[in-house]
Amino acid sequence: MDVLIAGASMAGLSAAYWFARCGHRVTVVERAEGLRPGGAPIDVRGRALGTAERMGILATIEAEKVSIVEPTPVLDGTGTPVASLDLRWFANETDRDVEITRDRLNRILHSVVPDAVEFRFNTTLTSIADGPDGVDVGFVDGRQARFDLVVGADGLHSTVRRLAFGPEENFVRHFGYYVALVDLPAGRDWQRAMLNVPGLTIVVRDAGDGPQAMLLAASDEVDYDHRDLQAQRKLLADLLSRVDAWQLPALREAFADPAAKGFYFDAVSQTHMPSWIQGHVAVIGDAGHCAALLSGMGTTLAMVSAETLATTWTECGGHMAAASPIYHERLRPYVDQCQAFAHEGAPIMVPATQEALDARNATFREYAARFAARTPG
């Protein structure tokens, strides 16, 4: 059967692999000119480890994972060290959970997609008309084609979801934060640390592919065109103006540089949908059930939903009416569980008040003492 996938990132590449492996003809359209680079390290956890194993990529992911070797100094708003953070303190879902850079995982997923899958970059779809014999899709270049299934793996601001299910505001809930990332220019000795003031976290780290800065800022939802880079940079400048210590002047410059690599800015949001399937159209990954960056479960859900959809739909002979209840039963409890993690991540990563920040730092100091006592040497 003919399957169209929109989006060539974690969800879309995984779906391309699984639908092709299940014997279908697969076309992938991606708005960007290639696989989109950038992003902080992401986690492959829990059920996604099984998915990775069945894809034959678990060993490669493990070989290319980020190894956390030393704790990150935690700074107050003046740049003074007040605690340290060691990610090893936080229990993973399983002992085998892996952290890997987004670019490496993208490359690994892409490498196992069969050659028969057709990729069309720099393109997207503009219309979806679902009927009893398939879905008629219109593309930006004016082409039309019919597919048996359309899969929206096109992220938080999904076009497939808007065309087939309704406007973004019906499904996407602002989680109260914005995130920004940028690769930092070499040739400067960046200090790796995490600076916190209430409602704002700025991290400089090197996950193995060069130094990178990340901002996480509490903010009410702001109405802006999420694809307008200038609007993004203006919002970001406002958020960065909340603190002026440490290497902030240089970080502001890096975030403002239009030539900077790995620039990414978006709202931290969740997608909640009563159904991820409408006729012969399905949404997976962030498009269907974004768990919010603070959950650490977005990539896991993207990979798991791709496998579950492809195998369930194929088991049901491509009859979506039969596949849909089974798919929801297999996925819904896991999505609920993963989305709930975001509520635990927020007070650790971005405490809202000075009291909460002080309490969190005291906990970090306590953990550090306990961890040091347990660690030989």
Ligand X SMILES: Cc1cc2nc3c(=O)[nH]c(=O)nc-3n(C[C@H](O)[C@H](O)[C@H](O)COP(=O)(O)OP(=O)(O)OC[C@H]3O[C@@H](n4cnc5c(N)ncnc54)[C@H](O)[C@@H]3O)c2cc1C
Q: Which stretch binds ligand X (CB under 6 A): 31-39, 126-134, 230-238, 322-330?
A: 31-39
Q: Which stretch binds ligand X (CB under 6 A): 27-35, 61-69, 199-207, 350-358?
A: 27-35
Task: Give the shortest CB-322-to-ligand X separation in angstroms.
Answer: 25
89, 139, 264, 371: residue in contact with ligand X (rule CB under 6 A): 264
- 335 is a contact residue toward ligand X (CB under 6 A): no
Count of residues interacting with ligand X (CB under 6 A): 30
Please say which residue, 125 or 357, places its beta carbon nearer to ligand X.
125
Contacts of ligand X in 126-185 (CB under 6 A): 153-155, 159, 181
DSSP state of 132: T
16, 24, 39, 310: residue in contact with ligand X (rule CB under 6 A): 39
Copy the structure tokens of residue 319.
Answer: 């009859």
Closest-CA residue to 270 (of 334, 174, 348): 174
Copy the structure tokens of residue 177.
Answer: 């934060």
Distance CA 256, CA 54 (A): 42
- 285 is a contact residue toward ligand X (CB under 6 A): yes
Residue 55's Cβ-count burial label (10 Å; 0-12, 13-18, 19+) is buried
Copy the structure tokens of residue 278.
Answer: 């409408």
4, 21, 24, 31: residue in contact with ligand X (rule CB under 6 A): 31
Q: How far is CA 113 from CA 15, 103, 117, 308, in A?
A: 9, 16, 7, 17
Task: Give the shortest CB-91-to-ligand X separation in angstroms.
Answer: 19
Question: 14-28: string of b/e by CB count within 10 Å (b at 16+)?
Answer: bbbbbbbbbebebbb
CB 77, CB 243: distance < 8 Å: yes
46, 134, 211, 298: residue in contact with ligand X (rule CB under 6 A): 298
Copy the structure tokens of residue 148.
Answer: 């048996």
E strand spans, 30-96: 42-44, 72-75, 81-85
- Pairing outcome for strands 211-218 and 144-147: unpaired
Task: Give the shortest CB-122-to-ligand X separation in angstroms.
Answer: 10
Q: Which residues contact 170 (CB under 8 A, 6 or more apart)?
A: none
Q: How far is CA 171 from CA 165, 166, 247, in A?
A: 9, 8, 38
Binding to ligand X by CB under 6 A, coded x per residue (else -) over 81-120, reads ---------------------x------------------
- 281 is a contact residue toward ligand X (CB under 6 A): no
Q: Which stretch binds ligand X (CB under 6 A): 8-16, 192-200, 273-281, 311-319?
A: 8-16
The amino acid at 183: D
Backbone angles phi, psi at 9, to 5 degrees: -125, -145
Task: Give the shortest CB-63-to-ligand X separation in angstroms.
Answer: 20
Please say which residue, 201 or 299, places its beta carbon nearer to ligand X.
299
Identify the bridge partners of residue 267 per DSSP, sorted by sequence position: 178
Q: Which stretch binds ligand X (CB under 6 A): 24-32, 56-64, 333-341, 358-366?
A: 24-32
Q: Which stretch binds ligand X (CB under 6 A): 23-31, 84-92, 190-198, 273-281?
A: 23-31
- 289 is a contact residue toward ligand X (CB under 6 A): no
Task: Give the shortest CB-13-to-ligand X separation in angstroms.
Answer: 8
For ligand X, which residue has the nearest CB? 285
Copy the structure tokens of residue 297.
Answer: 């479960």
Residue 91's Cβ-count burial label (10 Å; 0-12, 13-18, 19+) is exposed
Task: Give the shortest CB-154-to-ligand X separation in angstroms.
Answer: 4
38, 73, 185, 279: residue in contact with ligand X (rule CB under 6 A): 38
Residues that bind ligand X (CB under 6 A): 6-12, 29-32, 36, 38-40, 42, 102, 124, 153-155, 159, 181, 264, 285-286, 293, 298-299, 302
